[in-house]
Structure 1
Amino acid sequence: MSSLIADAEAEVARLWAGQRDGAHDHGHLNRVWANCQMIMMDEAPVDAEALQVAVIFHDAINLPKNAPNRSSAAALSAAHAAQWLGVRGWPLSRIAIVVHAIEAHSFSAGIPPQSGEARILQDADRLEALGAIGLARMFAVAGQMGGQLFDPSDPMALHRPLDDKAFALDHLKTKLFPIAQTMQTRTGRAIAAERAEWMASFRTRLLSEIE
């Protein structure tokens, strides 16, 4: 590990000091970087160091899910990364790579990725919302926000509007299954499809146990 990467991780640890968020922790950063490394093998060469820095800082400013300015979290994280890298003498061209990758990774910001680094980071981060880890994070966040696991009278929302703030299971339809359709890379699409299928199987099993 280079000294820059170690220092970047230390900076994010400082920003997260005292924060308890199982969906956004050091393990999340490690998994996103592992996803990036898998995706990179089938993509055109990118600035790997800039991509790793973007991974480390992509959730540096971690606002609560219900914060009114939640959609600004990626922009704030990118600005912090830019300032941090600028102090260390990084050229503006490389800082721009990091900034765009961080800003474009956000689902709520709706910024289309325009670089290889941004496409890879967006896919790598969104894979964290899918599969077993995606379900674990989904239920963890629902618990933090005081939501129920599912609507016991209508778990599939057949006779009511979807409400993923009230019921965690609704989040599969409102966001997670659609995320699988937004992947930018071939590897990302393949992994997302497999994980989405597994989540659908989990939902089927859950329904069989509660009905």
Structure 2
Amino acid sequence: MKRKLIIEKTKKFVKAKLEGEGSGHDWWHIVRVYNNALDITKKERSLYKGNIDIFVVELGALLHDIADHKFGYSDEDRKNIISNFLLELEVQKKIIDHVVYIANNISFKGGKNKHEMETIEGEIVQDADRLDAIGAIGIGRTFAYGGYKKRVMYDPDSGVDTNNREAKEDTISHFYEKLLLLKGKMNTKTGYEKAQNRHRVMEEFLENFHSEWNGEK
């Protein structure tokens, strides 16, 4: 089967799985990650003398949130779902294994995932996913996920310390536990450059949030 057709069938498969999902991991998140991954690939290719498998990047970006661990799935569940789907499309096993590797290692997992991506394709998809977690869109997604998990917006009585990155159960704390750390975890030069403005947007938001919360503005 031609690669273009495989990508189109993969888009339909993922859209059917994630359309309307309410935690911020919906179909449009996938579209943004996919587009960001393509843009990063375009800009990074000269550094790698064109040696980036765009097909793996596309499939990795489209399938990275299938059977996500946040919703109770295991790495084995994810591997089976992705592998079975791509096998039906007659994708080569080597490519399937690479896509599964990306999906199983992309997540921040509350800061507990110490694995570093070992392929440029994985690094690109991970950067694209992290970019969608920060900036204005990241702020929106964070509150969508907080609502999905029934978390309070902010609880100053929880003992939250903006310099303490231990997990708290309010949404604002998530910025300090994860989102403000992502700029420094970008893999590619392009990803890091893209992260700069998005990081500043979050810093400005938090400054305004705390000022408003304290009645200073």
1:163-198 deviations in Å (ceiling 9; x for gaps): 432x11111111111122111000111122321121
Greater percentage in helix: 2
Indicate the residue corresponding to 2:149 in structure 1.
Answer: 145
Structure 2 length-normalised TM? 0.82
Gaps of 5+ in 1: none
In structure 1, give the amino acid aligned to 2:209: L
- State whether residues 128 and 191 of structure 2, in contact with CA within 8 Å, keep that contact through their aligned partners in structure 1: yes
1:15 aligns with 2:17: yes
Indicate the residue corresponding to 2:125 in structure 1.
Answer: 121
**Structure 2 counterpart of 1:174, from 169, 172, 177:** 177
RMSD: 2.6
In 2, distance between residues paired with 1:107 and 1:158? 19
Distance 1:111 1:79, change over 3 A: farther
Q: SS of the residue aligned with 2:211?
A: helix
- State whether residues 162 and 174 of structure 1, in contact with CA within 8 Å, keep that contact through their aligned partners in structure 2: yes
* Superposition pairs of residues 1-211 of structure 1, within 5 angstroms: 2-16=4-18, 20-43=21-44, 44=48, 45=50, 46-63=52-69, 65=70, 69=72, 72=74, 76-108=77-109, 109-152=113-156, 157=161, 163-165=167-169, 167-211=170-214
Gaps of 5+ in 2: none
Structure 1 length-normalised TM? 0.84
- State whether residues 56 and 95 of structure 2, in contact with CA within 8 Å, keep that contact through their aligned partners in structure 1: yes
In 1, distance between residues paired with 2:116 and 2:164? 33
In 2, distance between residues paired with 1:55 and 1:189? 18
- How many equivalent residue pairs? 204
1:27-63 deviations in Å (ceiling 9; x for gaps): 1011001111221123223111221111111111145
In 2, distance between residues paired with 1:155 and 1:208? 18
Deviates more, 1:199-208 or 1:84-93: 84-93
